Structure 1
Amino acid sequence: MGIKPVWQQDVITSFGNIGITTHDIESLEYKLLTIGAGEVVINLIPLINAYRPEDLILLQEQYQLKNISVVHLWEDIWETRKAQVIGRISSILGLNKRIHARKTKIIQITQKQADDFLNNNHLQASAKSNYKFGLSLDDQIIAVACFSNLRYMKGLSPGYRSAELIRFASLSGYTVIGGFTKLLQHFIKTYKPDDIMSYADKDWSLGKAYEQSGFKLADVTPPLEIWLKKDTLVRYFPHRLPAEFIQEEYLEIYNTGNLKYILYL
């Protein structure tokens, strides 16, 4: 791969510092790293590139045939969410410390508590939600799940209500065994939706955690256009762009779409 830009070398160095081995994969098109025992490949994507979304999707599909997951790590995500990236990769590799959910208690939390936790522990930071719950151990929040309001669905049976799981995260460095299920079942028991919908970011996920929890794949959404503010590296979807949007101050990028999952109850 030759001499790497500073940020790509920082990826290699940072993982090495916590004992995660990386190896270059020879490729004329991509800057690929295999990590751990080789079950995960990271594709290092510079902000200035000639890739098309379909190229990145094809790359993932080719490796899936070998039972290898491809993570698309964009330069801006590394620069702004480095600790969260390291935490997510550590989780994927099964390197986290483990806590059993049965040792925790469910608490209702505020939007600020959710924001503080998710901004520190979720790759996509926080998001507004209607219902927010945490798992607490020794007065410390170690996992958080956030849900939308329940929406009546037209065209289905009378009174049919659906909710969205907007965010779930565990404390970085920890895996809460059964934590996702415990929070999910608490929401179901309390609010009695007819289904729960959620999205898995294809840049990072094959949706295995959803499938293990009984969710069914309902749709695969196309790649999404994203506008990146050049000076702050803040990402915006087109419908959330600031009113004072000046195109020259932004870089147009994208993701590889989402996997839409639904848990029917």
Structure 2
Amino acid sequence: MFLEDLNQNVSLLGFRRVIDTSDRWRHDDLAIEIQGICMGEDYLQDQKGIQIWEDVWQTRKAQVIHFLTALTKPLKSVFARDTRIVPISAEAARHFLDANHLMGFSKGALYVGCVVPPHRQFRGIGSEFSWEGNPLVAVAVFGKPLVMKEAGLEGELSGELIKLATLPSIRLVGGITKFLDAYHAIHPVQNVMTYIDLDWNSGKGFLSIGFKVIEQTPPLFFKLVDGKRIAVTQNQDAEVWTKGNLKLRYYYAN
């Protein structure tokens, strides 16, 4: 049922099943591969394709489709210079991220939104989300700045980018940099770190603006309890596991 439902949806985006498989699809024009993984079945982890686990499809189907659509369809370009970064409430961030981020909302210390100010709304940039009457097109969650103890960075103030999501219908050109600059204006940190989930993202966009790879973390293991992922420490207890994460760090110029 899961694989057939996945097939029906991804075929509309130009994906075709790989010959002699029931759980792999490829977009020939874009050389993107995806794999659907049924719960409770052994599989060989493919480090190249996008993994779509059955439980994620069941709980975040709309978000997965939005994600794949953004990879395969032309998006409207919105330039960060036509927007403004402003602090928003946790409630507004939750509403936006639950709808637009693959993994939904996460708590943080600072919630900021990218809005289209009144004098730029003539460009026709719309959104079903808003903040103080202005279209809300992206949201980021940052953690509390911490004093580093890591060798070589002792005493430096470091921030964390926890979540970032944009409307699936747009490409926010310069958006990550604008969020980072806005965070730095509020908290004068020396660097910001973030994690990239390798199940979904290679981190290419972050690396292109100056993030550096610090390490690749090992896979995370989970079991399902009432349809929710619960972390486990023993591999043999796992029903779901990830490819791990890339730990990235962005250093602000002195």
What TM-score results when the alignment is normalised by the length of structure 1? 0.81
Structure 1's 81 and 158: CA in aligned 2 closer, same or farther, altered over 3 A? Answer: closer
Q: Which deviations, in whole Å up to 9, do the C-alpha atoms of 1:32-66 show, x marking residues without a partner?
A: 10126142100110012112xxx31xx32xx5xxx
Q: What is the alpha-carbon distance in structure 2 between the residues aligned to residue 27 and residue 199 of structure 1?
A: 35
Partner Cα distance (1:97, 1:157) in 2? 40
Distance in 2 of aligned mates of 1:176 and 1:77? 26
Q: What is the aligned length?
A: 232
Residue 161 (structure 1) aligns with: 157
Counterparts of 2:135 and 2:198 in 1: how far apart (Å)? Answer: 31
2:231 to 219, 237, 241: 237
Note if contact 2:40-2:239 (Cα within 8 Å) is conserved in structure 1: no
- Unaligned stretches of 5+ in structure 1? 1-5, 64-69, 240-249
Deviations 1:202-240 (A, max 9, x none): 1111110110120011101111111212x3x2222249x
The residue aligned with 2:130 is none
Conserved 8 A contact 2:13-2:72 = no
Deviates more, 1:217-226 or 1:88-97: 88-97
Does the 8 Å CA contact 2:147/2:156 hold for their aligned counterparts? yes
Q: Specify whether residues 35 and 158 from structure 1 end up closer, same or farther in structure 2 by C-alpha distance, changes over 3 A only.
A: closer
Matched ranges for 1:252-263 at <5 A: 252-263=239-250
Is the 2:198–2:246 contact (alpha carbons within 8 Å) kept by the matching residues of 1? Answer: yes
**Gap regions ≥5 residues in structure 2:** 122-133
| % identity of equivalent residues | 31
What residue in structure 1 maps to residue 36 of structure 2? 44
- Identify if the C-alpha distance between structure 1 residues 27 and 113 changes in structure 2 by more than 3 Å, giving closer, same or farther: same
Q: CA deviation at 1:13?
A: 1.7
Deviations 1:171-207 (A, max 9, x none): 1222211112111111123211111111111111111
In the other structure, the counterpart of 1:97 is: 76
Partners of 2:107 and 2:143 lie apart in 1 by 8
Match of 1:20 among 13, 16, 21: 13
1:105: Cα distance to partner?
Answer: 1.6
Letter in 1 for 2:35: N
Question: What is the aligned-residue RMSD (CA, Å)?
Answer: 2.0
Q: Contact 2:77/2:170 (CA < 8 Å) preserved in 1? A: yes
- The answer as to whether partners of 1:20 and 1:36 remain within 8 angstroms in 2 is no
Superimposed CA distance per residue, residues 140-172 of structure 1 (whole angstroms, 9 cap, x where no aligned partner): 211011110000112555631111100000012
Is the aligned partner of 1:148 residue 2:128?
no
Alignment partner, residue 205 of structure 1: 201
